[in-house]
Amino acid sequence: MAKRQSHPETGMAPKAEQILQGAIEEFLAHGFAATSMDRVAKTAGVSKATLYNHFGDKESLFSALTEYLGEKRILDFVIEEPEDPAIFLKTWATAIFNQILNDPELLCFLRLIIGESGRFPELAQAFIRNVVKVGINRLTKSLESYPQLRLADAEVTARVIMGALLHYLLIQEIMHGEEIMPMERDRYIEGLVKLVITD
Amino acid sequence: MAKRQSHPETGMAPKAEQILQGAIEEFLAHGFAATSMDRVAKTAGVSKATLYNHFGDKESLFSALTEYLGEKRILDFVIEEPEDPAIFLKTWATAIFNQILNDPELLCFLRLIIGESGRFPELAQAFIRNVVKVGINRLTKSLESYPQLRLADAEVTARVIMGALLHYLLIQEIMHGEEIMPMERDRYIEGLVKLVITD
DNA sequence: GTCTATATATAGATAGAC
DNA sequence: GTCTATCTATATATAGAC
């Protein structure tokens, strides 16, 4: 019987997983350039040589990390689609807000991937392909399943809704604007739903 | 008669202005941590000592830079408000899109201020106070001047519209998603306007 | 595979001449 | 005020023992 050498879910060697966890903590907190490999090694509890042995260099480690986090956090929300589109929208928005706002790691990941999109355009594009596009396509399909909404352009509507979500997260949470431009979550969701529901 | 020692508009010493221009180029391209003071000095065409003489340290230089850029780029658009709100919205959105999309420096500034909002929360907050909040307040006022829109919540509507704008800029331009999720600007504006205009 | 110790480059910041 | 030259710390990355 062989010894277990890889994680049953991620298929990763235990040491690699351990390194990645340390790397996530450091990179999410400080960004790419301000994170040193010394600190990653220390946080992960391994030596620097081990770190370099598993991931060739700093950029490769960072790529592996964003890939890992991008795959875990899919915005591909599947919720029931009740008859009333207003209820659907409110339920959907509330669920996705709660999920993201209770996941500070995801908020930091968003900041990171945006902030590094100049140096690492391919990573930002992977995020768009695997997360943003999937989520918007799913929402577009859902919107299209409600013909009574009489939407002129479902995809644009889906993008606007995602944009509203993003705006809230970016201003209130990521950029620390809560006290400067306070806005209650329920009021925001309510207003957004009413904007989409034309009656 | 005294020699002219400061810029007539910014009130800055010529050398300080020169340094700032070099700093803008470097910081916008590489972010805070990845930008070295050596490179800033070289790009600005001064020695490192001169640089430190004008701006005490790297963080102070960065703060001065974000303040400078934040004051120049106010999203406080004042356009005429025609009778038809649909025309107003379309004109407003088109103008602001054109302004921002033709200003790559502003796009990089957005990326920068978001990316560094972890290390420099106060700078992000200053940006929100001086740029985002002002712009949203102005738009809210404009929306309120059209009672025929019968908006349930003008401020939320203004935020959603700004969010739609931001989403487009972020996905298409800043994160290089143009080829992955193509979307024509006019189609997007059209759809956004139709969403707000309930008829 | 994992460690300690180290090589080499470059960072932020300053001293001292002019 | 501005420069050249330099200090000190720390960065990425690797060599070599085990």
Asked whether residue B15, judged by its CB, lies under 7 Å from any atom of the DNA or RNA strand C, the reply is no
Coil/strand/helix, residue A75: coil
Q: Which amino acid is at A50?
A: T
Cα–Cα distance for residue pair A102/A100, rounded to 1 Å: 5
Structure tokens given for B39: 């490179």
Q: Which amino acid is at A123?
A: L
Cα–Cα distance for residue pair B75/B98, rounded to 1 Å: 12
What does the pLDDT read at residue A93?
96
Q: Which nucleotide is nearest to B51 (CA to C1')?
A: D2
Strand D nucleotides below 7 A of a protein CB?
Answer: 1-6, 10-16
What does the pLDDT read at residue A178?
97
Higher-pLDDT residue of B5 and A155 is: A155
**Residues 26-45/A with CB < 7 A to strand D:** 35-39
**Residues 49-108/A with CB < 7 A to strand D:** 49, 52, 56-59
Q: Which of A73, A4, A15, A5 is nearest to A45 (CA)?
A: A15
| Residue A175 contacts residue A110 (beta carbons within 8 Å) | no
The Cα of B24 is separated from the nearest Cα of chain A by a number of Å equal to 15
User: pLDDT digit string (tens) for B79-138?
Assistant: 889 999 999 999 999 999 999 999 999 999 999 999 999 999 999 999 999 999 999 999
Distances B62 to A63, B33, B71, B105 between C-alpha atoms, Å: 27, 10, 14, 16
Asked whether residue B43, judged by its CB, lies under 7 Å from any atom of the DNA or RNA strand D, the reply is no
Distances B144 to A39, A187, B80, B141, B149 between C-alpha atoms, Å: 52, 18, 14, 5, 8
Contact between B176 and A117 using a beta-carbon 8 Å cutoff? yes
Q: Is B5 left (phi over 0), alpha (psi -120 to 50) or beta?
A: alpha
Topology annotation, domain B14-71? Arc Repressor Mutant, subunit A (1.10.10)
Asked whether residue B20, judged by its CB, lies under 7 Å from any atom of the DNA or RNA strand D, the reply is no
CATH no. of B73-196? 1.10.357
Looking at every residue in chain B, the average pLDDT score rounds to 94
What does the pLDDT read at residue A1?
43
What does the pLDDT read at residue B79?
86
Q: How far is the CA of A2 from the C1' of D15 (A)?
A: 33
Nearest to A156 among B132, B175, B191 (CB): B191
Q: Does domain A75-196 have CATH number 3.30.1380?
A: no
| Residue A189 contacts residue B153 (beta carbons within 8 Å) | no
Nearest to A115 among B114, B168, B188 (CB): B114
Nearest CA in chain A to B133: A181
| Residue A173 contacts residue B114 (beta carbons within 8 Å) | no
Domain boundaries defined on chain B: 14-71, 73-196
Coil/strand/helix, residue A177: coil
What residues in A contact B181, CB-CB < 8 Å?
128, 132-133, 136
> Taking chain A, what is the end-to-end CA distance rounded to the nearest angstrom?
66
Question: What does the H/E/C string look like for chain B?
Answer: CCCCCCCCCCCCCHHHHHHHHHHHHHHHHHCCCCCCHHHHHHHHCCCHHHHHHHCCCHHHHHHHHHHHHHHHCCCCCCCCCCCCHHHHHHHHHHHHHHHHHCCHHHHHHHHHHHHCCCCCHHHHHHHHHHHHHHHHHHHHHHHHCCHHHCCCCHHHHHHHHHHHHHHHHHHHHHCCCCCCCCCCHHHHHHHHHHHHCCC
Distances B41 to A118, A179, B31, B50 between C-alpha atoms, Å: 22, 37, 16, 8
What does the pLDDT read at residue B1?
43
Contact between B160 and A187 using a beta-carbon 8 Å cutoff? no
Cα–Cα distance for residue pair A80/A92, rounded to 1 Å: 9
Contact between B157 and A198 using a beta-carbon 8 Å cutoff? no
Asked whether residue A125, judged by its CB, lies under 7 Å from any atom of the DNA or RNA strand D, the reply is no
> Taking chain B, what is the end-to-end CA distance rounded to the nearest angstrom?
66
Residue in A26, A150, A159 to test binding to B, most B beta-carbons within 10 Å: A159
Cα–Cα distance for residue pair A136/A157, rounded to 1 Å: 10
| Residue A160 contacts residue B195 (beta carbons within 8 Å) | yes
What does the pLDDT read at residue B10?
80
Q: Which nucleotide is nearest to B33 (CA to C1')?
A: C11
| Residue B105 contacts residue B24 (beta carbons within 8 Å) | yes
Q: How far is the CA of B48 from the C1' of D7 (A)?
A: 15
- Owner of token pair 């910081």: B27
What residues in A contact B137, CB-CB < 8 Å?
none
Q: What is the pLDDT along chain A (199 residues), one digit of tens a residue?
A: 445 567 887 788 889 999 999 999 999 999 999 999 999 999 999 999 999 999 999 999 999 999 999 988 766 677 899 999 999 999 999 999 999 999 999 999 999 999 999 999 999 999 999 999 999 999 999 999 999 999 999 999 999 999 999 999 999 999 999 999 999 999 999 999 999 998 7
The Cα of A85 is separated from the nearest Cα of chain B by a number of Å equal to 15
Q: Which of A40, A46, A42, A58 is nearest to A15 (CA)?
A: A46
Look up residue A12 and give its DSSP letter: -
Cα–Cα distance for residue pair B27/B35, rounded to 1 Å: 6
| Residue A27 contacts residue A112 (beta carbons within 8 Å) | yes
Give the pLDDT band (50/70/90) at residue B76. Answer: low
Look up residue A84 and give its DSSP letter: -
What does the pLDDT read at residue B198?
83
Q: Which nucleotide is nearest to B16 (CA to C1')?
A: D1
Q: Which nucleotide is nearest to A56 (CA to C1')?
A: D13
Residue in A32, A62, A128, A166 to test binding to B, most B beta-carbons within 10 Å: A128
Which secondary structure element, helix H or strand E, spans residue A190, and what is its range?
A: helix A185-196
Contact between B29 and A118 using a beta-carbon 8 Å cutoff? yes
